[in-house]
Amino acid sequence: MHPQPDGPPVDASEDPRYRMVSLWHDTVPGSFAPRTALPGDRDADVAIVGAGYTGLWTAYHLLRLDPRIRVVVLERKVAGYGASGRNGGWALGEYSISPMDWAARAGTGAALRQMRALYEAIDDIGRVADAEGIDAHYAKGGWIDLARSSVQADRISAGVRARHDLGLSADDVRWVGADEARRFCNATDVVGGWFNAHVAAIHPCRLVRGLAETVERLGGTIHEETAVRAIQPADGSGSARVVTDRGTVRAGVVVRATEGYTRDLAGHRRTIAPVYSMMVATEPLPANVWEEIGLTDRPTFGDGRNLIIYGQRTADGRLAVGGRGAPYRFGSKVVSTTGTHHPIHDAVEATVRQMFPMVGDAAITHRWGGVLGLSRDWTPSVGLDRATGMAWGGGYVGDGVATAKLAGQTIAELVTGTASDRTDLPWVDHVARKWEPEPFRWIGINAGLRLAASADRAEARTGRPTRRIDWLNRLLRRS
């Protein structure tokens, strides 16, 4: 969609394509005029590939730990162009795998530490934003996951009980009845829900653009419109290398922070699979409509369906809602989702109007989407191989706003040798196996998407749980 009249004034020097990526890009203050591209070969202590959350949080914490570190961030477009600037705006206290999955892999104590570290990261996003003067519209209102059928209620309540059995408390997650759930979010057909206190709503592009400015203020260098072709491990000289279309950066450590765009790096086509999520946003809604909907403290919301939806009340009074289901592209191809009119957008808009009939004929002013990164075992990870100088963070499967904050801080501590409670968490140095070659990757991922959608249809039709999600988990080996 085209920028709206209430958006910020456009700097004549900026590329309008960057302003039109999403609602968040349309409404962020400041200019999208690209920073200077890499002017040729150079040396650094740490080179970071990707100016999204993972890369910029890594740079931020490196410079806070040691202001003398020479940090260079390389970005193919502009900071926040990818998922970090166009996501649903949830700093979510959950990973792409459950706390119970962490416990099965690493034990109960380690799983609880992994969860608590994420909760702390969510609070720290707010603290850093305040300290650095980043107005990211941060609101820690929690998350209400609505049960809108008896099947969803059984599934959600079982998840709450399992978390309590693990050692999380009702102050962390709790079941709420229908009346309380509707007070949070007055959607249709609500029979209850799960409230997670550890979730904050943000304006994602304000956060990522503010982080970029802060990194520069602290002494880091960001080169935009610089396409990285390959990252190469350290050789006999002791330096790793980042090969770009503008020159080569040699550094003691190279951080891969490319998430859904990792497939563009030589040798990494099967490391992370890019899959899509699509969003729509309404025009600002009047006060009387918000009185009916609720979301007073800006809790984020979703429901218990298998094919995920997610939404928030924005600081300027819009409903911004997203959903999964767009097909994976053969060969891990990444296509533009800017300004598109995709059938998934239509489905998400229909969901908005079905869940919230009080929005009436309010206009949908923005439609956009982007890629998220899917690791083969659905498990996010961070790590540093000192022998090669290669570090990484990613595989967030769409739950990356808070996870990337934790990742960036952890990577910075690993690089600087800073002792902390984060550097021995279960996800540190986890390496997922690579995705299958095509056409098996295309068949498997799209079969999984279809299974999730068909499971929702079957549950709606029969009112009973379906085994299709068990088949999906076995297909993708999530557990």
Reported as a single tens digit per residue, the pLDDT across 98-125 is 999 999 999 999 999 999 999 999 999 9
253 pairs with which residues across the strands?
Answer: 46
Q: Which residue has the higher pLDDT, 451 or 301?
A: 301
Q: Write the CA distances from 371 to 83, 191, 327, 410, 418, integer angstroms.
A: 6, 33, 11, 24, 33
Inter-axis angle of helices 108-132 and 150-166, to 10 degrees?
Answer: 100
Nearest-angstrom CA–CA distance, 409 and 60: 8
- Going by pLDDT thresholds of 50, 70 and 90, the confidence category of residue 455 is confident
Would you state the pLDDT for residue 1? 38
In three-state form (DSSP H/G/I as H, E/B as E, the rest C), the secondary structure along 266-326 is CCCCCCCEEEEEEEEEECCCCHHHHHHHECCCCCEEEECCCCCEEEEECCCCCEEEEEECC
> What's the CA angle centered on 145, arms 141 and 149, to 5 degrees?
150
Residue type, 227: A
Question: What type of residue is 420?
Answer: S
What whole-number percentage of the chain has pLDDT above 70? Answer: 93
pLDDT surpassing 80 at residue 210? yes
The DSSP secondary structure of 223-279, one letter per residue, reads E-S--EEEEE---TTS-EEEEESS-EEEEEEEEE--GGGGGGSTT-TTTSEEEEEEE
pLDDT computed for residue 5 by the predictor: 36
pLDDT reading at 479 higher than 80: no
> Does the structure show a pLDDT above 70 at 423?
yes
Convert the pLDDT of each residue in 323-338 to its tens digit. Answer: 988 889 999 988 876 5
In single-letter form, the type of residue at position 152 comes to Q
Rounded Cα distance, 464 and 469, in Å: 13
pLDDT recorded at residue 7: 46
More confident residue, 8 or 438: 438
- Asked whether residue 2 carries a pLDDT value surpassing 60, the answer given is no
Q: 48 in helix, strand or coil?
A: strand
What confidence tens digit (pLDDT) does each residue in 17-61 have?
899 899 999 999 999 999 999 999 999 999 999 999 999 999 999
Residue 187: is its pLDDT beyond 70?
yes
Do residues 255 and 58 touch, judged by C-beta distance below 8 A? Answer: yes
- Residues 51, 79 contacting (CB under 8 angstroms): yes
CA 74: distance to chain centroid?
20
CA distances (Å), origin 335, targets 81, 203, 216: 14, 24, 30
Asked whether residue 460 carries a pLDDT value surpassing 70, the answer given is: yes
Q: Give the integer Cα–Cα distance in Å for 115 and 138.
A: 21
Q: Which two tokens stand for residue 223?
A: 């080169």
The amino acid at 377? D
Q: How far is CA 140 from CA 1, 127, 207, 245, 300, in A?
A: 29, 12, 15, 41, 9
Maximum C-alpha span of the chain: 68
pLDDT at 3 over 50: no
Residue 456: CB atoms within 10 Å: 21
Among candidates 220, 262, 300, 252, which has minimal Cα distance to 56? Answer: 220
Cα distances from 147 to residues 190, 460, 469, in angstroms, run: 6, 13, 17
192 residue type, one letter: G
Q: What is the pLDDT of residues 263-301, one digit of tens each?
A: 999 999 999 999 999 999 999 999 999 999 999 999 999
Number of CB atoms found within 10 A of residue 350's CB: 10
Q: Output the pLDDT for position 454.
A: 78
Residue 393's Cβ-side half-sphere holds a number of Cα atoms within 13 Å equal to: 32
Closest alpha carbon to 261 in 289, 228, 306, 214: 228
Rounded CA gap, 79 and 379, in Å? Answer: 25
339 pLDDT above the threshold of 60: no
Reported pTM: 0.94
**Per-residue pLDDT tens over the stretch 366-405:** 999 999 999 999 999 999 999 999 999 999 999 999 999 9
Span 314-329, mean pLDDT?
93
pLDDT, tens digit (0-9, with 9 covering 90-100), for 155-167: 999 999 999 999 9
- Tell me which DSSP letter residue 144 carries: E
Distance, CA of 202 to CA of 85 (rounded, Å)? 11
What's the pLDDT at 156? Answer: 96
In the predicted model, what is the mean pLDDT of the chain?
A: 92
Q: Tell me: the pLDDT tens digits for 213-242?
A: 999 999 999 999 999 999 999 977 679 999
